[in-house]
Structure 1
Amino acid sequence: MKTHLRIALVVLTALRATLWPVVAHAHPLDSEFDCRSNPHAFIMSLENGQFIDSNPMRVENNSVNAFRPAHGTDLTVFGFRVYAVIGYQRDDTIFRKGSGAAIAAPLYGAVVSGPVETVETRVRQAGSDATVHQVIPMLLTAIVCDEHRIGPSTHETHETPEPR
């Protein structure tokens, strides 16, 4: 009996140790996908909270910036782990310009680990009308708030002041 009790305690301790870091560091972004924010506010809140690296890991030709979650953080959207957050807003100095023609309308979002059908179902169940796009079949899906889904008065330009 004592052996079974010890085994149970070891298993519970191991489970707690494995799950605790995920629970302790998880930062859900669900509320941002009501699409009432704007790219500047979305990215700056994550940068200021040190949830993403301040330099984009990739800038697409159309100027959409992709930011990697900071080391040791676990961002989630509707229960899906975030691979990258994306955003762009014309004339906003926090975003780098790509080599091609920039998109005209602002957008922000996240690329999550999960198949498009499952992600779409969760997004709709949460009441979000964000757009869902397949990135890599069965692996990565983008959840995007764009010009048709970003709430009113969020299209303002945000310029970061130049250092003196």
Structure 2
Amino acid sequence: MNRLLASVLLLAAAALPLPSFAAELDAPLTCNESGHQFIADLLEQQLINPKPSHVERNSINAFSPTPNANLTAFGFRVFAVVGFEKDDPLFREGDGEPLAQSAYGAVVFGSEDKVKSALKEAGSTAIVHHVAPLITAIFCKRS
């Protein structure tokens, strides 16, 4: 009987949805921190995968959110986070000239105009860059 009860409890637990971890990236995307701090904080909270999914020639590392992370930036769902810090082992270097000494941001689902409007309303100095239809990058960099 105890085995049956244990089996039923295991099956019930397996059927429950996994917890989702929500995090808003609005505060760091006001461009007041380093690429290292931005990425390290997300890694510590286990909101992004530890290895970059892609590294650009300019050394920008793209990290995917973990399966249960629910990342948003200014009300937009985050598709990926990006970052780089020169001479930092947290990041891989590309084969071209680094974009900046330190840079970070988020790639979101949203039109460039709507993202620009949301950042302006929030007082963010981040750069908005069109990536593809309805995909926009929000980017902070330090020289």
Q: Could you say whether these structures have the same fold, taking a TM-score greater than 0.5 normalized by the shorter chain as the test?
A: yes
| Counterpart mapping for 1:105-144 below 5 A | 105-137=101-133, 139-144=134-139
Offset at residue 47 of structure 1 (A): 0.3
Would you say 1:78 and 2:74 are equivalent positions?
yes
Inter-partner Cα distance in structure 1 for 2:79 and 2:119? 17
2:142 to 139, 143, 147: 147
Inter-partner Cα distance in structure 2 for 1:56 and 1:47? 11
Using the aligned pairs only, state the percent identity: 44
Q: Deviations 1:116-154 (Å, cap 9, x if unpaired)? A: 0000000110111111000002x2100011126xxxxxx
* Number of residue pairs aligned between Structure 1 and Structure 2: 126
Inter-partner Cα distance in structure 1 for 2:115 and 2:30? 15
Residue 115 of structure 2 aligns to a residue in which SS? Answer: helix
Can you give the 5+ residue segments of structure 1 that lack an aligned partner in the other structure?
1-20, 149-164
* 1:10 aligned partner: none
Offset at residue 105 of structure 1 (A): 2.9
Inter-partner Cα distance in structure 2 for 1:140 and 1:88? 21
Q: Deviations 1:68-94 (Å, cap 9, x if unpaired)? A: 000111100000000000011111110
Contact 2:107 2:137 in 1 (8 A): yes
Q: Deviations 1:83-110 (Å, cap 9, x if unpaired)? A: 0000111111100011222224311100
Contact 2:100 2:141 in 1 (8 A): no
Offset at residue 33 of structure 1 (A): 1.4
- Amino acid in the other structure paired with 1:143: I
TM-score (norm 1): 0.73
- Amino acid in the other structure paired with 1:95: F
Relative to its length, the structure with more strand (as a share) is: 2
Inter-partner Cα distance in structure 1 for 2:73 and 2:24? 6
* 1:54 aligned partner: 50
Note the aligned Cα RMSD (angstroms): 1.6
Contact 2:48 2:66 in 1 (8 A): yes
